[in-house]
């Protein structure tokens, strides 16, 4: 199968621009990552381009477009645009960075293709030129990035209520290595009561990684995508039949998305939506679907050129130009809390739920709702709650209530509800309820509160 990439979305610093260009990609081969270029051992970039180097680079780019660009009817127009701008002197600059930016801007404008661009990176160029033992091998440049980013699996957490969370900022894939990292991550998710996969800012990567991940939520040998490109025979991508971690089918799944999710990130989100595997929470994605190749262009460039397009098995189309719409639209910065809330509400609706699980889910739901909908309680209502309660004391100071348990240092109380329930600063497993007549201390592992009368 063949690669796919995405464009630079905005003007930014050189380091951030490199991050976006290498991240926003949808590859069926080796995957770029977000790390900076190697500090040593890399190929030094030329500080200046000669006229002959510019002309040679443009010739290579035009030849590649004529040979492989996914839409044959657009090839002549793209080549003509580059040639017109060359004759007009637009590319007569000696800065490799400026040259690549101008070429990219013209390719984007002429094609409206978010996977068509030129990267100025000598190390990436050298790696792309290096011979490989196997066609499927990831070159040293991208393999290093995949390993430093733990194959894109950067964070695993157990959220309250045993909702398992995975942060996935890129779909890296290194043949015979990445799968083992995914196996561990999927075993972690499998032990949860619900799963949240956070794709926010995931610019893309390898379809091989998407295929591996989504296979855990579907039966084996299910058609996912058919890659079509030019005169080449279509290539199918189907789910895997053997998965060391087993399948996660039937578990509540929530996927977080935003406008910076592109290409392979959209591929997974699109699968979740089209196969009805879970809910997408957040904002519409970027809208880049064409699959691409990374082609070295002397003396220091890499051309991302679209050579195919995916057709989804369910929709018989893809997300190019339109993105993937969320099932639940919400500000992306609140997407995690919204997903937690929806997961916990669904778990609370489970028939025959045990009292212990109901208490655990309700406890977690209260915390999430307080973050999503912070309560405001007036000082007039809070001040009378202060007092002595057995060995404990609640005092009013600095516009807040403070709890001193026995001889411990006082800690701040923050309202969770308007009915007198408070979180206790520094203690996620402890809450306090003040009724005016009593103090109740509630622990997350004990439904029965400890009650202390005022006096």
428: CATH = 2.40.128
Cα–Cα dist 433/294, whole Å: 60
Cα–Cα dist 115/289, whole Å: 8
Statement to judge: residues 141 and 286 lie in one domain: yes
The range of the structural domain enclosing residue 440 comes to 376-453
Using a 10 angstrom Cβ sphere, with 0-12 exposed, 13-18 middle and 19 or more buried, the burial of residue 353 is: middle
DSSP 8-state assignment for residue 191: T
213 conformational bin, left if phi > 0, alpha if psi -120 to 50, beta if neither = alpha
Question: What is the model's pLDDT at position 358?
Answer: 97
Statement to judge: residues 238 and 287 lie in one domain: yes
Statement to judge: residues 147 and 250 lie in one domain: yes
Question: What is the model's pLDDT at position 30?
Answer: 34
Statement to judge: residues 151 and 274 lie in one domain: yes
CATH of the domain at 248: 3.90.226.10
The residue from 97, 112, 127 where one domain ends is 112
Question: What is the model's pLDDT at position 17?
Answer: 31
Domain assignment present for residue 406? The answer is yes
Domain assignment present for residue 404? The answer is yes
Query: Token pair 């996914």 is at which residue?
Result: 70
SS3 315: coil
Closest CA to 212 of 255, 189, 183, 251: 183
SS3 35: coil
| pTM summary value | 0.85
Question: What pLDDT, in 10s, does the model give residues 353-391?
Answer: 999 999 999 999 999 999 999 999 999 999 999 999 999
Statement to judge: residues 74 and 172 lie in one domain: no
Low-confidence ranges of the chain (pLDDT < 50): 1-42
Statement to judge: residues 226 and 282 lie in one domain: yes
Domain assignment present for residue 369? The answer is no
Axis crossing angle, helix 51-68 with helix 72-87, rounded to the nearest 10: 170
Query: Considering the chain, what percentage of its residues have pLDDT values greater than 90?
Result: 82
For the chain, what is the domain count?
Answer: 3
Give 404-437 as a DSSP string.
EETTSPPEEEEESSTTSEEEETTEEEEEEEE-SS
DSSP 8-state assignment for residue 151: G
Structure tokens at 240: 């895997």
Statement to judge: residues 141 and 107 lie in one domain: no
Statement to judge: residues 83 and 154 lie in one domain: no
Domain assignment present for residue 117? The answer is no
Statement to judge: residues 155 and 63 lie in one domain: no
Domain assignment present for residue 346? The answer is no
SS3 441: strand
Domain assignment present for residue 248? The answer is yes
Sign of CA dihedral 322, 328, 331, 334: negative
Statement to judge: residues 153 and 264 lie in one domain: yes
Statement to judge: residues 170 and 242 lie in one domain: yes
Cα–Cα dist 197/221, whole Å: 23
Statement to judge: residues 144 and 254 lie in one domain: yes
């Amino acid at each position: 199968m063949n690669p796919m990439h995405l464009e630079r979305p905005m003007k930014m610093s050189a380091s951030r621009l490199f991050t976006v260009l290498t991240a926003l990609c949808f590859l069926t081969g080796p995957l770029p990552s977000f790390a900076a270029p190697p500090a040593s051992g890399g190929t030094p970039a030329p500080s200046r381009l000669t006229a002959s180097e510019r002309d040679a680079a443009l010739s290579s780019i035009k030849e590649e477009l004529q040979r492989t660009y996914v839409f044959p009817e657009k090839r002549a127009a793209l080549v003509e645009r580059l040639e017109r701008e060359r004759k007009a002197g637009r590319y007569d600059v000696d800065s490799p960075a400026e040259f690549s930016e101008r070429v990219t801007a013209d390719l984007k404008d002429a094609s409206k293709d978010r996977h068509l661009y030129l990267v100025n990176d000598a190390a990436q160029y050298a790696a792309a030129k290096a011979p490989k033992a196997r066609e499927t091998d990831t070159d040293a440049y991208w393999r290093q990035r995949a390993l430093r980013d733990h194959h894109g699996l950067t964070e695993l957490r157990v959220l309250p209520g045993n909702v398992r969370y995975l942060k996935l900022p890129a779909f890296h894939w290194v043949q015979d290595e990445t799968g083992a990292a995914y196996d561990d991550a999927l075993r972690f998710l499998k032990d949860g009561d619900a799963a949240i996969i956070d794709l926010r800012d995931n610019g893309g990567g390898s379809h091989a990684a998407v295929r591996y991940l989504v296979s855990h939520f579907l039966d084996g040998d299910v058609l996912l995508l058919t890659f079509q490109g030019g005169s080449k025979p279509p290539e199918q991508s189907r789910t895997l039949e053997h998965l060391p971690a087993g399948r996660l089918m039937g578990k509540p799944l929530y996927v977080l998305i935003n406008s910076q999710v592109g290409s392979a990130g959209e591929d997974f989100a699109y699968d979740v939506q089209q196969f009805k595997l879970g809910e997408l929470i957040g904002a519409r994605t970027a809208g880049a679907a064409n699959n691409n190749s990374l082609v070295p262009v002397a003396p220091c460039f890499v051309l991302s050129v679209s050579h195919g397009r995916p057709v989804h098995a369910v929709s018989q189309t893809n997300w190019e130009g339109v993105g993937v719409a969320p099932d639940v639209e919400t500000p992306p910065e609140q997407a995690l809390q919204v997903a937690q809330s929806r997961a916990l509400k669904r778990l609370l609706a489970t028939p025959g739920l045990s009292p212990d699980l109901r208490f655990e889910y309700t406890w977690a739901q209260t915390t999430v709702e307080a973050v999503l909908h912070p309560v405001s309680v007036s000082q007039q209502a809070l001040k009378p709650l202060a007092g002595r309660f057995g060995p404990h004391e609640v005092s009013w100071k600095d516009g807040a209530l403070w709890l001193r348990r026995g001889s411990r240092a006082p800690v701040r109380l923050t309202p969770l509800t308007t009915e007198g329930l408070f979180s206790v600063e520094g203690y996620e497993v402890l809450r306090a309820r003040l009724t005016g007549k009593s103090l109740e201390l509630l622990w997350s592992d004990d439904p029965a509160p400890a009650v202390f009368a005022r006096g």
